[in-house]
Structure 1
Amino acid sequence: MNQSFSQTQKENKSIANNKTLAIDCMGGDFGPSVIIPAALKALANHSDLHLFLVGKEEEISPLIKKHPGFHERIHLQDTREVIAMDEKPSRAIRSKADSSLRKAIELVKDGQAQACVSAGNTGALMALATLLLGTLSGVERPAIVAELPNRQGTETHMLDLGANIEATSEQLATFGVMGSVLAEAISEQVTKPKVALLNIGEEAIKGRDSIKLAAGLLQQQADLNYCGYIEANQIFNGDVDVIVCDGFTGNNVLKASEGITRFLYDRLKAEFDSSWKNKLAALMVKPVLNAFKKRINPDQYNGASLLGLREIVIKSHGSADEKATLAAINKAIIEIERQVPQKIQNKISDLLNAQETSE
């Protein structure tokens, strides 16, 4: 049975004047125990925020009953099924019509919510979001984009991070346009985002044919700040704002980056713990270490956008803790405020015209 803590006609009408998210509370490694506290924090931080909390009522209700001050902005959507993290997307689509992940997306499709946030099965999320919401006109396939820290103290947007194992030149060019729009929309400092293609060299003759053709298409975009190729060892320099690649490459770069981050911090900590002299030194540099950890901590960048869909869908990391989950929710709020899908759609037509001219 579907329940809500605010069911009156007056309260339901008020949702239209606020930001409304549908949150899959059963996704990820920790489910409601982590997602609900993060959702409550988001409500405390945003007075105009309403949330559809989607999942098993018996697991969600006890966590939110302790916070009666938010009940008028919480709408509980009871579902009976959960898509497992290792479940095949095709099976999830066919056999789990009452899953929390699907229902969260359907709330967006039906116009009751403006965005969906889920830490669930990535393949199922992508497949269901594409099926139910559809892609923007001119977008063949959505792409997953996330932020990476860089030496400049800002963030670099990288896509695709796993939605498309292979990508055509047209798709890569579309990713570049979408990434540029996102970078400009959510940043107050960036006005003409620098876009680059990830390649095995900076020379024009290097790389796959699809990358070379994509470069040509991006060069034809007069209002796009395309800067050419970038190599993997330049990803974290901060020289560009958007890095474009296929999903196979991007996902490997992301996982390697997360791994090296953990390795460096663990090794540094182990060295400081290796002797009493080093432990004493660690006390002296503790503020520096804490600042370093905070700067490279992937949690603050949690929340990957599924760009190219008609609506906003944010993928939270499966192992996200409360802080990381809140970061994903905040990302959805920002994209609602900046109207990211609408801005992307406005730019895609220019790319299509350039492609027709080059044929």
Structure 2
Amino acid sequence: MNHVTNFTVFLLLFLALYFGLSFALEEDKITVYQFEKIDYFTEMPISEDNLVTEQGVALGRLLFYDPILSRDSTFSCVSCHLQENAFASTEQFDKGLDGELMRRNTMPLFNLAWYEGFFWDGRANAIETQVFHPVRDVKEMDLTWEEAEKRIRRSSFYPTYFYEAFGSFEIDSVKIANAIAQFERTMISANSKFDQVLRGESYLTTDEYEGFGLMNNQVKGNCLHCHVTDGNGLGTTGRFANNGLDTASYPNSFKDIGRMESSGKHEDAGVFKIPSLRNLAFTAPYMHDGRFQTLREVLDFYSSGIQPSFSIDNKMAFAHQGGIRLTEEEKDKILMFLATLSDSSFIIDPKYSNPFPLD
């Protein structure tokens, strides 16, 4: 049946080219995706090698939700990255294809276009590169890219989508990854209450405003250095740091060596990506190992649970006393402000939802 389908597709292509028909797929009909400009975000970096188009995004969305890219065709990107959780997971550690626990908490997916490093350890330096990892990872989707290419080529409808997106029926792993990356670049979250305040559409309550002040006060919350909430709008610098989760006197004494795993540098031991403060209401549990179930626990840690180590970030100014020593009232106000950073419209936006008919 697949051979017949492939023959039909290529016959149609031959006839279209032979008779000069457009086949409604010419490159001049590819539409560049129009991103909405967000004044309080830094300018979005544009990939010169992977132009985001309406057709590429549509294809990437299909591939993101399709389990065709897993060994037994039961596991997709959305198996771990759920829209209702800002494309993160509620599990401390997700299970892979064979039920084996992954070793780190699943990171959310939004505003990725502004980041320069991906995964907790930064082992991928581009969204496109990031896409390659979970497909071939034996603990996740466990499929060779050679087999992935064959499956997509044999598909009854994907060749047409690839032609529409890339102007060619040629299908390879780079185009598969590029399409998924295009879709992921469109996952922009910028409609929280805090966003509405920045746009002049809403205002912070007194407690929320005081919580914002505490977060940015260098002798109180002292969050400003890593979790930027104004200036770039992302809620993170996008960099990497050891925030004092564990104590260690030498690199390999960390249970998880973090960024050192990809960089090979001893100073990167115990260093992990600084996550965004956005959408925290949807992305529990927290930290690379999901050790904290609630934001109150996170604040308790920063208040009195910081552990010294040789690679702790020098911006952790209160590490010598175990933390910043917040009062319970101060924690309450910070939590009220953090709640303003969650974007409830993002987690129900239909343009990011499952494009396949639900059973």
Regarding TM over 0.5, the answer is no
From the two aligned structures, give the one with the greater helix fraction: 1
Task: Give the TM-score taking structure 2 as reference length.
Answer: 0.26
Q: Which has the higher strand share?
A: 1
Q: TM-score, normalised by structure 1?
A: 0.26
